Structure 1
Amino acid sequence: MSSVEEPDPMAESPMDYAEHDRTYHFFIGLTKYGTIAVVVILILMALFLL
């Protein structure tokens, strides 16, 4: 048997709130800038293709 103790999963919070907050803000930023990019592409297509 190994003498290495496994960490108690209940000793820490089940959720890393700081990481969750960073991930949330990352996806919000991606959505915002992705939407802006699509709008710009559509405007350019309307100007040059019509």
Structure 2
Amino acid sequence: MAYKVIAAFKDKTDDEYLYRIGDVFPRKGKRPTKERKAELVDMGFLKEVE
């Protein structure tokens, strides 16, 4: 499942990588945990997309 960034943020678990609005999360080569994805959705940074 992919996610779209809806609010810019620096990912503390990815060397402070800056995700900008409209980016796809996660970036190529990264595999965040389900918990991390859920946390970012709950905080309003990501939206689930198909």
Q: Shorter-chain TM-score: which interval?
A: under 0.3
Please state which structure has a larger fraction of its residues in strand: 2
Please state which structure has a larger fraction of its residues in helix: 1
- TM-score with structure 2 setting the length: 0.25
Larger-Rg structure: 1
Report 1 or 2 for greater relative contact order, CA contacts < 8 Å, sequence distance ≥ 6: 2
